[in-house]
Amino acid sequence: MSASTGILGGARAQYHLRQSLVFLNMFPINKPEIFVTSAAQKFDDKGKLLDQKTGELIAQLLSNLVIWTRKLQGNSQRKGNIREGTKERHMANAQIYDAKLNKVVTVEKIQKAMKNGKRF
């Protein structure tokens, strides 16, 4: 994920970082790719995200991170993959620390709130 005040949203930096991660044989989260363009208009003066579509993409990226982490942990512990059909359960259980609320919230709650027009 990258952000900039320009129209590319940090795309070149993100692609360069991806090349470095591949060289180091690391496991980046590939999708969704998030390029926050014109970031100055998408955040308020306190740093709160105003753009709903960007918020939805970030929530999806974070849920993919949880799924990927659990998959890697499962491979190291039992040498197996996460069973098909568990993605929804993992997404509902994914948790994110919200510094403004000073508590942990689930990705599912964030997605519901954003659908109802709330901003984070």
Q: Please write the tens of the pLDDT for every residue from 10-30.
A: 888 888 888 898 888 887 888
In whole numbers, what is the pLDDT of the chain averaged over residues? Answer: 76
Residues in the chain: 120
- Across 64-100, b (16+ Cβ under 10 Å) vs e yields bebbbeebeeeeeeeeeebeeeeeeebbeebebeeee
120 is a domain residue: no
Q: Alpha-carbon distance 95 to 62, whole Å?
A: 9
Token representation of residue 69: 């982490």
Q: Please write the tens of the pLDDT for every residue from 89-117.
A: 555 555 555 555 556 666 667 667 767 76
- Scanning the structure block, which residue is given the tokens 């005040």? 5
Q: Alpha-carbon distance 77 to 112, whole Å?
A: 33
Q: Which structural domain range is residue 76 located in?
A: 2-115
**Number of compact structural domains in the chain:** 1
60 is a domain residue: yes
